[in-house]
Amino acid sequence: MAETAPLSIVTQPSKLWKGVFAVAGIMTTLVTYGVLQEKIMRVPYGDDKAFFRYSLFLVFCNRITTSAISAGALLASKKALDPVAPVYKYSLVSVSNILTTTCQYEALKYVSFPVQTLAKCAKMIPVMVWGTIIMQKKYKGQDYLLAFLVTVGCSIFILYPAGSSEIGPSDIYGRGRENTVWGISLMIGYLGFDGFTSTFQDKLFKGYDMEIYNQIFYTAFCSCVLSLTGLILQGQLLPAIHFVSSHNDCFFDIALLSTVATASQFFISYTIRTFGALTFATIMTTRQLVSIMLSCLWFSHPLSREQWIGAVVVFGTLYAKSFLRSAPKPSPSQQMQNGASLPVKGIP
């Protein structure tokens, strides 16, 4: 008994520092990622005030960095590089992931970053739809209510902007508010593809004995090949390289974007493995709120009163969802006292 106390004293600070490491890593990488992607897609470069228009090139740079680092992690840990699942399943995730990221970058040509970030919170709905179709999951009425409240909050935020530049940045690409529908359509595409990506990844993990680095490597490598093929077929590879080579600050931004995008994936996997999905969801909700506030300050996005109300509804609902999931469940002894039967497979 005398040796137990020092062990518990050491364990608590260790858990605390792991939590600090996880929160600092996710907040730093993803907030930086959000600021950089808005800067690259919406702020002109050089004396000629030229805008970077090659969103697929950003996808290619991100994925080639991720595949290289994940391959190094696999080799360093002496894990096998052989694919665990059929390659076409990795490719399926890659295609949906490329479409997700491309829609995300392209949408910034039409909507502001705060609008885009808050709209991402509505991914609960497509995840539930894809979960029902792919995983045959069943959801409670509480889940549908929370998804409905998030959708209402997002709709308020999008439909009541403080100014015309919030939704239709015509001063950037020479397009007016008539393309608002196109911007919202891109966000709907992002939500649909992203919901499929996360759901199918979940199915891969459950269907195969798969290491996180194995999935990251093959998914990123397939995305790298597909995005490079798309750049060549669309004739955008050489113009993108020429733009980056003639604008050194753009090259630095893209290199930093790819670095933090890759680092964020490893922080995310570390957080989920160490603290679970609930803690990760709470951190991500906080990150989205911080990203919106930082974008409003950095890029001078005004928010209307209705948008503040919409943001409160969305983030209040997301935090409520996290706290509801963290509510303590009755112990097996309490269930037996209340007359409830124990599940057959209660212990994993």
Question: What is the tens place of the pLDDT at every residue in 250-286?
Answer: 999 999 999 998 888 778 777 766 776 556 666 776 7
Q: What is the pLDDT of residue 345?
A: 34
- Reported as a single tens digit per residue, the pLDDT across 113-139 is 777 777 777 777 787 788 788 777 777
Q: What is the pLDDT of residues 244-253, one digit of tens each?
A: 999 999 999 9
* More confident: 157 or 25: 25
Half-sphere exposure of 10 (CA within 13 A, CB side): 5
pLDDT at 299 over 70: no
The whole-number pLDDT of residue 278 equals 54
What integer pLDDT is reported at residue 163 of this predicted model? Answer: 58
- Give the pLDDT confidence score for residue 231 in this predicted structure: 93
Task: Judge whether 342 lies within some domain.
Answer: no
Q: Does a structural domain hold residue 339?
A: no
pLDDT of residue 291: 74
pLDDT score of 311: 80
What is the predicted pLDDT for the residue at 234? 92
The number of folded domains in the chain is 1
Mean pLDDT of the chain: 76
Whether 338 is in a domain gets the answer: no
**Percentage, residues of the chain above pLDDT 70:** 78
Answer whether residue 6 is part of any domain: no
> Which residue is it, tokens 């290619």?
60
> Would residue 341 count as lying in a domain?
no
- pLDDT tens for each residue of 26-84: 889 988 988 898 889 888 998 888 989 898 999 999 999 988 988 888 888 877 677 88
Instruction: Tell me how crowded residue 247 is: count the other CB atoms within 10 A of its CB.
Output: 19
Question: Which residue would you say has higher pLDDT here, 298 or 189?
Answer: 189
Own/partner contacts of 43-51, CB < 8 Å, gap of 24 or more, are 43/299, 45/247, 45/249, 45/250, 46/246, 46/247, 46/249, 50/243, 50/247, 51/172, 51/173
| pLDDT tens sequence across 212-250 | 777 788 888 888 999 999 999 999 999 999 999 999 999
d(CA 257, CA 240) in angstroms, rounded, equals 16
Q: Is residue 10 part of a domain?
A: no
Examine residue 309 and state whether it is found in any structural domain, yes or no. Answer: yes
* Structural domain boundaries, residue 321: 18-325
Confidence class for position 344, pLDDT limits 50, 70, 90: very low
25 domain-assigned? yes
How far is it, in rounded angstroms, from Cα 52 to Cα 250?
Answer: 8
What average pLDDT score do residues 320-324 get? 74
> In whole angstroms, what is the distance from residue 169 CA to residue 180 CA?
9
Predicted pLDDT of residue 254: 95
Q: Is the pTM of the predicted complex or chain greater than 0.85?
A: no
